[in-house]
Amino acid sequence: MNETPKKVKTSLEYLRKLFIMPDSPDKFIEFGHDLLEMIHDFFQEKGGIHSSITLPELSRIFDQAAVPDRPVLIKDVLSEIKNKVIGHSVKVGNPYYIGHMTSAIPYFMILLEMIIAALNQNQVKIETAKASSFVERELVAWLHRLVFNRTNKFYEKNIQNPRIALGNVTADGTLANMTALLVAREKAFPPDGKFPGSRMMGMDRALRHYGYDRGVIIVSERGHYSIRKAASLLGIGEHNVLNISVDDNNRIDIKKLRRKINSLQRGKVGNRTKIIAIMGIAGTTETGSVDNLQKIGEIAREVGTHFHVDACWGGSALLVDEYRSLFRGIQEADSVTIDAHKLLYCPMTMGVVLFRSERDLQFIRHSTHYAIRRNSVDTGRFTVEGSRPFACLKPWASLKIIGSEGYGLLFRHANKTTHNLKELLDTCNNFETLSVSELFILTYRFIPGKVRKKLLALRDVEASSRDKAGAKETRQKIKKINHFINALNIKLHKALRRDDTTFVSRTTLESTRYRPQNIVVLRAVLINPLTDKRILKEIVDTHNRIGLQIWEEFESAYRKIVI
Ligand SMILES: Cc1ncc(COP(=O)(O)O)c(C=O)c1O
C-alpha cells in the first residue's frame, strides 16, 4: 500500500494523456488488468460480509474537508480505492447474504459497465446516442410485449417508431413509478377547452377547473415508499396516497378497496375526490406478494381511472411461463414498472416504465431548441430525466446471454432455495415462518419452542373463550408475549449484524397471524444462485445459536410475563 501518494506536476500535456489514452494503450490495458484483478480479489476474499470497521472509524478515513488540489497518479488512487473503499464494501454477492433485493451479479455485467462508460452515450438525444437509442427502443419493446402482449402488427409498427414511446428506461424503480403517476395525473386533469391541463397550471388550478377538492392514489399498505415520494413531487401530497389494508397473504383486501372507493364516490358535498390512479403491486417489497391484478384492473375500469402496476420486484418473472399466471390481469394495466437491478440480475441501477397505450407518453412530451426538438427522434422528448446513461445495454445483453430459459433456471433455483429455508426453519423448533411468497421472499422470527407452544395454546384458549372478558385477557397476554418476542428479534438482528457471517434484513408487519399487532420479522430474499441448502443450514444454525444465547438473558423476564 502506498501511504503517501506521489503528487503529479499538473500540466495540460499530462491531462491530455488521461483523456486520449493513458500514456500508451499498453498502460490502459495494464490498469484495466490490475483493476480486474482487484475486483476478482474482492470476490475471493473471505471474512465478514460488512467488514469489521466501525462507522465512526470510516468517518475518520473520509474526513478531508477540501477538494484535492494537486493530482496524484491513477495507480495510487486505485490503491486508495482498494484499501479504503473496496475493503470496506458490503459483499452483497456473498451467498450467506440473503437479506435484500441487492444481490450477486453475473461477471459479464462488470464488462458491460465498462462498455457503457467507454462509449459514454447520453440517451437523451440521437446526437449523443446513435445505435444505443435503437437498443433502448428494442429492449422496451421486448418488455412491453412480455407484459401487454399486443399484436405483431403493433410491435412492427412501433418498435422503432420515433413518433411515440412505449415506455421509458429510468434511473430506478422510484423514477419509473413517478413517471407512471405523472402520466396518470395528466390523464386525470387533461387539457379541456381553454384549460391547458394540470401540467401547465398545477394541481390547484386543475382541481378547481374540474371541481374536485383533492386527487388521490390508491395502493395497499404494502406500497413502496416511492409512491409517497412521487405523490409529494407531483403536488398530489403524501396524505393523498390512500393505503388499503392487506389480507393475511399481504395482498390488497379487495373488499376494503371497493368500500374505500364507494365512500370516496359518495363524498360529502364540497368534498369531491378524483381518483388519479389505483395501483396493484406485483411483488411487494417486504413479502414478495402479488395483488389480485385482475380484480384491481376491473375496479379501475369501472371507476375510469389509471391502473398502474408496480412490478419493480416481480415483473421480470413474466419471462418464465410457469410464473405468468401469478400476474394474471397485468396486461390490462395502463402502466407497469420493472427494475432490471432486481430479478434481471443487473448491477445498480435501471428501471423501466411501460405504457399499454403508445399514446400515453404524449401527455408528458417536452421539446426545446438545442435538443429534443419537436420533430426530432430524440428519446428525451418523453422522459422525466434529462441526461441518461446507456444502462439498457445490461438487460439487453443479459436477456441474450442468459435468455428466458436461463432466467427460468435462476428463478426455479430461487424458489427451491426459498422452500429449503422454510423447511429448515420449520424443522428447527425455534422459528416461526410468517410469510412465504412465490417471488423468493420469506419472513420469519426467532421464537423458542416453548414460547411458541404457549402462544398456540393461548390462541386456542382465546378462540374457545365464551366470555368477552376472558378472551380479552388472553388477547392481552398474547400481545405481551409478542411484544417481548419483538424485542428479542430486534436484539437478535443486531447480534447477527455484529457476528457478520450471515445477513438477513428486518422489518415489522401487521399482516401476520397475530394481527392487529405489529410483529418484528426477519426477512430473507433468496435470489443468489450460489446460495444452497448447505449454506442455508449454516445460516439457520447460526441464527438459532445466537438466538438461544440472547434468550438466556430474556428467559427470566418471560417467566414473569406468563405467570
Ligand atoms: C415494489 C417496489 N417498487 C419500487 C421500488 C423502488 O425501486 P428503486 O429502489 O429502484 O427506486 C422497490 C424497491 O425495492 C420495490 O420493491
Tens-digit pLDDT profile for residues 57-107: 999 999 999 999 889 999 999 999 999 999 999 999 999 999 999 999 999
Q: Best substitution site from 100, 175, 339 to test ligand 1's pocket, by max atoms within 8 Å of Cβ?
A: 339
3 pLDDT band (50/70/90 cuts)?
low
**Which atom in ligand 1 lies closest to the alpha carbon of residue 341?**
10
**Which atom in ligand 1 lies closest to the alpha carbon of residue 311?**
1
Kindly tell me if the per-residue pLDDT of 543 is higher than 50.
Answer: yes
Residue 21, SS3 per DSSP: coil
**Which atom in ligand 1 lies closest to the alpha carbon of residue 339?**
10
Residue with the nearest Cα to atom 8 of ligand 1? 173
Ligand 1 centroid to Cα of residue 382, in Å, is: 22
Closest among 45, 379, 355 to 183, alpha carbons compared: 355
Q: Average pLDDT, stretch 20-24? A: 76
Ligand 1 centroid to Cα of residue 346, in Å, is: 14
Residue with the nearest Cα to atom 9 of ligand 1? 173
Ligand 1 centroid to Cα of residue 283, in Å, is: 10
2 pLDDT band (50/70/90 cuts)?
very low
Residue of 3 and 220 predicted with greater confidence: 220
What is the distance between the alpha carbons of residues 19 and 549, in angstroms, rounded to a whole number? 57
Residues having CB within 6 Å of any atom of ligand 1: 101, 172-174, 177, 224, 226, 281, 283, 285, 310, 312-313, 339, 349, 351
Residue with the nearest Cα to atom 5 of ligand 1? 173
Ligand 1 centroid to Cα of residue 220, in Å, is: 15
What is the distance between the alpha carbons of residues 415 and 388, in angstroms, rounded to a whole number? 34
Cβ atoms 91, 97 nearer than 8 A: yes
Q: What's the chain's average pLDDT?
A: 95
Task: Using a pLDDT cut of 90, give the percent of the chain over it.
Answer: 88
Q: Average pLDDT, stretch 337-351? A: 98
Q: Average pLDDT, stretch 485-493? A: 98
Ligand 1 centroid to Cα of residue 173, in Å, is: 5
Ligand 1 centroid to Cα of residue 358, in Å, is: 24
323 pLDDT band (50/70/90 cuts)?
very high
pLDDT of res. 47: 76
1 pLDDT band (50/70/90 cuts)?
very low
Residue 505, SS3 per DSSP: strand
Ligand 1 centroid to Cα of residue 174, in Å, is: 6
Ligand 1 centroid to Cα of residue 291, in Å, is: 16
Q: Best substitution site from 169, 170, 174 to test ligand 1's pocket, by max atoms within 8 Å of Cβ?
A: 174
Ligand 1 centroid to Cα of residue 312, in Å, is: 6
Residue with the nearest Cα to atom 7 of ligand 1? 173
What is the distance between the alpha carbons of residues 273 and 261, in angstroms, rounded to a whole number? 10
Closest among 510, 496, 526 to 422, alpha carbons compared: 526
**Which atom in ligand 1 lies closest to the alpha carbon of residue 281?**
1
**Which atom in ligand 1 lies closest to the alpha carbon of residue 223?**
1
pLDDT of res. 27: 84
Q: Average pLDDT, stretch 11-21? A: 85
Ligand 1 centroid to Cα of residue 168, in Å, is: 16
**Which atom in ligand 1 lies closest to the alpha carbon of residue 314?**
1
Q: pLDDT for 176-235, tens place per residue? A: 999 999 999 999 999 999 999 999 999 999 999 999 999 999 999 999 999 999 999 999
What is the distance between the alpha carbons of residues 263 and 259, in angstroms, rounded to a whole number? 6
Q: pLDDT for 421-465, tens place per residue? A: 999 999 999 999 999 999 999 999 999 999 999 999 999 999 998
DSSP 360-428: GGGGG----SSSS-TTS--GGGG-S-SS---TTHHHHHHHHHTHHHHHHHHHHHHHHHHHHHHHHHHHS
What is the distance between the alpha carbons of residues 537 and 72, in angstroms, rounded to a whole number? 48
Ligand 1 centroid to Cα of residue 471, in Å, is: 41
pLDDT of res. 300: 98
Closest among 237, 247, 315, 311 to 276, alpha carbons compared: 237
**Which contacts qualify for 199-203: CB closer than 8 Å, 24 or more apart?**
199/363, 199/364, 202/235, 203/234, 203/235, 203/236
Ligand 1 centroid to Cα of residue 241, in Å, is: 17
What is the distance between the alpha carbons of residues 439 and 414, in angstroms, rounded to a whole number? 8
Cell numbers 471474512: residue: 47
269 pLDDT band (50/70/90 cuts)?
low
Specify whether the backbone of 56 is left (phi greater than 0), alpha (psi in -120 to 50) or beta: alpha
Cα atoms found within 13 Å of the Cα of residue 258, Cβ hemisphere only? 7
Q: pLDDT for 544-562, tens place per residue? A: 999 999 999 999 999 998 8
Ligand 1 centroid to Cα of residue 224, in Å, is: 6
Task: Using a pLDDT cut of 70, give the percent of the chain over it.
Answer: 99
Ligand 1 centroid to Cα of residue 225, in Å, is: 8
Q: Best substitution site from 100, 219, 222, 226 to test ligand 1's pocket, by max atoms within 8 Å of Cβ?
A: 226
Q: In what order do the strands lie in the sheet with 306-310?
A: 167-170, 351-355, 335-339, 306-310, 273-281, 214-220, 241-244
| Predicted TM-score (pTM) of this structure | 0.97
Cα atoms found within 13 Å of the Cα of residue 23, Cβ hemisphere only? 9
Q: Best substitution site from 178, 286, 312, 337 to test ligand 1's pocket, by max atoms within 8 Å of Cβ?
A: 312
What is the distance between the alpha carbons of residues 349 and 367, in angstroms, rounded to a whole number? 26
pLDDT of res. 257: 98
Residue with the nearest Cα to atom 15 of ligand 1? 285
pLDDT of res. 205: 98
pLDDT of res. 266: 87
**Which atom in ligand 1 lies closest to the alpha carbon of residue 284?**
1
